Amino acid sequence: MNAPTGEQPLLDITGLRIDLAGGRTVLHAVSYAVRPGQSLGLVGESGSGKSMSLKAVLRMLPSGARTEGGITFDGHSVTGMNPRELRAFRAGQVAMIPQDPRAAANPVRTVGDFLTEVLVRARGGRRRQAVDQAIRHLADVGIADGELRLRQHPHQLSGGLLQRVMIAAALAAGPRLLLADEPTTALDVTTQQEVMAILDEQRRRHHLAMVLVTHDLDLAVAVTDDIAVMYAGTIVELAPSKGLHHTARHPYTAGLLRSRPAIGTRARPISLPGRPLSAFEAGPGCVFADRCAFAQERCRTERPRLETHGTHLVACHRAAELAANGRLLETTP
């Protein structure tokens, strides 16, 4: 992995399983860790369980959900936190960047009311001080006319500006961990790049750990150190982002790479055959077996474990063989 070395994980998730009320499993034994200053992308199709682990970190799972496994933050069990500890954790240690800033913003409150309340709650002090701090935080995320923006309501800001406000608010309490769940999905392509660049720059400047959930593999490759590819509630490959286009070891990762639109061409993207499997539909074998061009009998009866292949962790019985013969990234499923 490309994680900064020498530091213990800030967020450490081990063997996390989540069952919703009624018994539907949405996550199977997921493990990943993020160190201070490291960014990890969780990538996969809809329903792969990408967002569930973030909700579990915040202990904001749907009512009736049950978890197994460990979630620790800076060595402390998140699942074992009492209500006071949980409030302090959510208020000061971890921040969530929302998917849709317009849905997350209160339409009847001004940006200033919202931001200064966040700042006063996080740092104490008077509102006047908080206004000055809010203007500085807005400048940090590229909003130069902060005084004007503080007087405005969410509907007076573009989606990109509003997401910058949300990033400023997320950073205002001085968190150590950012959880970003598809933070640019609601924005147009140009604005997506601007907002992602700001988020990445702020993360690096403040040495923050970040988990970025996205269905966009190219985006994850561009802004994260490592990528966990998820399918049917499991991680099928965990690898350094750099060079992943040429080093993918799991047939599903290779399929995602082939299925993305080619930049600068009018070529039709190749789509993966079949439909994504939900976690609760998974049988005893490999979760990807029904869509995998390389599946063999063993794949249908025995679940592959995540094993080390060079700098990658891969859950595929045939990972070594496919990498050795070079078929994986060349063959159309």
User: Is the torsion defined by CA of 316, 318, 320, 324 positive or negative?
Assistant: negative
Query: By CB under 6 A, is residue 288 in contact with ligand SF4?
Result: yes
Query: By CB under 6 A, is residue 318 in contact with ligand SF4?
Result: yes
Binding mask 244-283 for ligand SF4 (x = CB under 6 A): -------x--------------------------------
- By rule CB under 6 A, what count of residues binds ligand SF4? 12
The stretch among 52-60, 84-92, 128-136, 311-319 that binds ligand SF4 (CB under 6 A) is 311-319
Please answer whether residues 191 and 158 qualify as being in contact, where contact means their C-beta atoms are separated by less than 8 angstroms. yes
Phi, psi of 332 (to 5 degrees): -80, 125
Q: Considering the complex, state which of residue 171 and residue 289 has its C-beta at the smaller distance from ligand SF4.
A: 289
Please answer whether residues 223 and 242 qualify as being in contact, where contact means their C-beta atoms are separated by less than 8 angstroms. no
Query: Edge-to-edge strands of the sheet including 11-19?
Result: 25-34, 11-19, 66-73, 76-77
State the minimum distance, in angstroms, from the CB of residue 214 to ligand SF4.
22
E strand segments, the chain: 11-19, 25-34, 39-43, 66-73, 76-77, 94-97, 177-181, 209-214, 226-231, 234-240, 307-309, 312-314
Query: DSSP character for 22?
Result: T
Q: Considering the complex, state which of residue 171 and residue 299 has its C-beta at the smaller distance from ligand SF4.
A: 299
Q: Considering the complex, state which of residue 152 and residue 247 has its C-beta at the smaller distance from ligand SF4.
A: 247
Query: By CB under 6 A, is residue 294 in contact with ligand SF4?
Result: yes
State the minimum distance, in angstroms, from the CB of residue 293 to ligand SF4.
8
Instruction: Report the interface residues with ligand SF4, using CB under 6 A.
Output: 251, 286, 288-289, 292, 294-295, 299, 304, 316-318
